[in-house]
Amino acid sequence: MARKVEKGNLERNPWLSIWVQPRETIREIIDTNPKYRFFVLCALYGFPMAMSFAQSFSLAARFPVWSIVIASLVICTFFGWIGISISTWLLHVTGKWIKGTGTFQTIRAAVAWSNVPNAVTSITWFILLAVFGGKIFNREFSEMTFVGYQAGVVFLIFLVQSIVSIWGFIILLKTLGEVQGFSAWRALLNVAIPFVIVVALAWLVGWAIWGTSSIIK
Burial-class residue 51 by CB neighbours within 10 Å (0-12, 13-18, 19+): buried
Q: DSSP label at 136?
A: G
Q: What is the pTM of this model?
A: 0.86
Is there a contact between 106 and 91 (Cβ–Cβ < 8 Å)? no
Going by pLDDT thresholds of 50, 70 and 90, the confidence category of residue 10 is confident
For residue range 83-124, list pLDDT tens digits in order: 999 999 999 999 999 999 999 999 999 999 999 999 999 999
Is the pLDDT at 8 greater than 50? The verdict is: no
What's the chain's average pLDDT?
A: 91
Q: What is the Cα–Cα distance from 143 to 91, expressed in whole angstroms? A: 34
Task: Give 178-216 pLDDT, tens digit per residue.
Answer: 999 999 899 999 999 999 999 998 888 888 777 655 555
Q: What does the pLDDT read at residue 211?
A: 64
Percent of the chain surpassing pLDDT 70? 93
